[in-house]
Each structure stands twice: as C-alpha cells, then as structure tokens.
Amino acid sequence: MREFRVVVAEAEVAGLRERLRGTRWARELPGEGWARGVPVEYLRWVVERWIEFDWRAWEARLNGYPQFVTRIDEQDIHFLHVRSPEPDALPLVLTHGWPGSVAEFLPILGPLTDPTAYGGDPRDAFHVVAPSVPGHGFSVPLESGWDHLRIAKAWAELMRRLGYDRYGAQGGDTGSVVSPLLGATDPEHVAGVHINGGLAYPEVRPGDELTEAERERLKAADRLRAVGTGYADLQGTRPQTVAAALSDSPVGQLAWILEKFWEWTDPAKPLPHKAVDLDHILFDVSIYWFTNTSATSANLYYEGSDQHARSDVPTGVAVFPTDPAIRQVLERRHRIVHWSEFRRGGHFASLEAPDLLVDDIRRFFRLVR
C-alpha cells in the first residue's frame, strides 16, 4: 500500500475554467422546464458557479483524510482509511455509486469515526474504509470485467490486507448491490450489511400484498422506468460513445450528472442545489472531469448489473423517499433484521440527510456488534 494525495495541476484547473467560459449552449424549446432534461437557464447559472468554484479548498478537504492506493486483481484501488480514536471501533467499508464518489461520504466520516465529538455514544464508533469503485474517481480500471461481484471480492481482499477480521458493509446505489454481495462472498468476516438508495425495479409477484406506502413507491418506480432510465440504456450498451461527448465537454459532464441530482433527490426539493449543497455537487462533477472517468464509470453498467446472491448475513435497510424498496421483495434475497423508512432525504442520503443515515447505521450495527 502507498499513501495517496489528490493533486490536480493548476493548468488543468485553469483549463476547465477556460472551457466553461467558451461553452456553446444548446438550443431548447421554450416552456419545457425539466421535462426534456436540464434547462439551459439553470445550467448556465450552475456553470457560472462552477467557474468560481474553489477546487483547492475542496481538494484540501478530501486530502485532510488518510488516503491510500493498493493493487488488487491487477487493479489500483484508491481508498480512504479513517480510523476511529475508539480502540474497539467496528471496521466498516462504505461503497458509493454512480454518479457519486468517495466525496459523498465527507459529511458522515466524522460522526461515524468519532461519535463522541458529535454528541454520540463512543460505542457506536467505526473505523471507516471508503474505496473508490473501479472506474470512478481515482480507481481507474486497466481492463474490462469489473462487475459488482468482482468489486465485492476486491473489497474482501482489501479488508483482509488491512487486518480486519470482522467488519461491516454499507452502501447505496452501486453499494446497495456490492455490499450484499460482499456479505454473500465473505460471510465469515462480514458482521452485517446496511443498504440504502437502491434503484432496482422491485420484482413484485402476483399475490404480493403491498402497503399504501409501497404502492406509492411502486408508482414512482414505474414513472422512473418510463422516462428516467435512458442514461442507463446508453451507459449499458454504448458507454464509449456517450463518453466521447462527456470527456470533451465539462458542461456535458455536468448536465449528465446534474440531471440525476434533480431526479433522484428528495421530491420535496424542486432543484438539485436545494437538496444538496451546490459546491458538493460541483466537487463530485469536478472529480469525474479531472480524472476523465466518464467512460470508465459507465463501463460498470456495460459489465452487467443483474448480480445478486442470497445472503444470510444480518441486513439493515434505510428507505428514503426516492427508494423503490419493498420489504417482502428484498427479503427474498436478504435476511433483514432492521428496516427504517424516512420522510425526508433521497437517493444521495449521505449528502441529503446525513444525520438520518448516520443514526440508522448506528442503530443497525448495534444489533450485530
């Protein structure tokens, strides 16, 4: 393992701003709002904010945590390793998704590793390991074949190398698939799995009796399936083609990600920056831009996402307003011992409702520590 720091050359930062100032804006039909995608007026406003965005401050914030790179299965894996001051803390591996990065965990690293400093119980402490998913951010893949199962096996090896014999797993989006697979492939070492932010369409069977809340979540999933999965179809079939535009245009990369922050965040928040701090969104997009990982992150969709295995590891589920989670469906693959439903927050829970997510992670792992 070797220590790692994020260092983006000043010429690249200046080059990004130059590209942003020279944007050729797309034409649009009047009065459509978000129906056809990100409105040009809103995108222009966000771009103006991006031109003024303080990359160095956020780069320093990420570099304030210990980072490392290690090679697993011929792949360089970047990860944060933030140890708790509590000696009996439970190791916990966090897995992000697309269009996320390890940066989405910045609001929860402190509360998870040092609960006492945040008014919590020291017995709830974790040693946090947060890897960059291969293809995302600072884990750029060198070959094809990095699907969810291979990622889970790499995480098991990473935790072994760190000397953690017993640990927990938590994740949303990609992490809601990888974390259970980690439990299924390494059950003798995984104490428990906590997930949120799944996007898989619920496999409801005839005869399943749904609650009113579950019926509403199914309707929302139907709407998303009808109008909101085009990005996945493109990334899952022609990732290299769509990446040609995203890797050459920072505004294209921004719009591609910004639209998801609009569609997947708390429905009570009408605009992305109302749900998530805009600088945090810009930090996430900047990571994709500076690492040029539009194609490599999209490849995970191409590699196949229908990878599931029955896991008997104790599992906790946190359901936020945009999650299409139905308990009886998830219980077919997981041994669920903890279930929570929240009225605020959304798909990016660690950014939208970090207090709720941290509290739920703590409550679940008290059952398995």
Q: What is the pLDDT of residues 252-308, one digit of tens each?
A: 999 999 999 999 999 999 999 999 999 999 999 999 999 999 999 999 999 976 667
The residue from 96, 136, 194, 347 that is catalytic is 347
Q: Is the pTM of this model over 0.75?
A: yes
Quick check: is 231 catalytic? Answer: no
Q: What is the pLDDT of residue 293?
A: 96
The residue from 301, 334, 338, 360 that is catalytic is 301
CB 194: neighbour CB atoms within 10 A?
29
80 phi and psi angles, rounded to 5 deg: -90, 140
- Given a contact cutoff of 8 angstroms between Cβ atoms, the answer to whether 267 and 322 are in contact is yes
Q: What is the pLDDT of residue 305?
A: 61
Q: At a CB cut-off of 8 Å and minimum separation 6, what does 15 contact?
A: none
Quick check: is 173 catalytic? Answer: yes
Order of strands across the sheet that contains 126-131: 2-3, 67-72, 75-82, 126-131, 90-95, 167-172, 190-196, 311-319, 334-341
C-alpha 90/C-alpha 79 separation (Å) is 17
The residue from 114, 173, 186, 323 that is catalytic is 173
Mean pLDDT by 10 residues, the chain (369 residues): 97 98 96 94 98 98 98 96 97 98 98 98 98 96 90 98 98 96 97 93 89 92 90 94 96 98 96 98 98 95 77 96 93 96 97 98 97
Q: What is the pLDDT of residue 180?
A: 96
C-alpha 299/C-alpha 31 separation (Å) is 35
Q: What is the pLDDT of residue 355?
A: 98
Q: What is the pLDDT of residue 201?
A: 86
Q: What is the pLDDT of residue 200?
A: 83
Q: What is the pLDDT of residue 306?
A: 63
- Fold of the CATH domain 2-365: Rossmann fold (3.40.50)
Quick check: is 301 catalytic? Answer: yes
Q: By three-state DSSP, how is residue 52 classified? A: helix
Q: What is the pLDDT of residue 168?
A: 98
Cis link prior to 202 (omega < 30° from 0)?
Answer: no
CB 42: neighbour CB atoms within 10 A?
17
- Given a contact cutoff of 8 angstroms between Cβ atoms, the answer to whether 43 and 258 are in contact is yes
- Given a contact cutoff of 8 angstroms between Cβ atoms, the answer to whether 238 and 321 are in contact is no
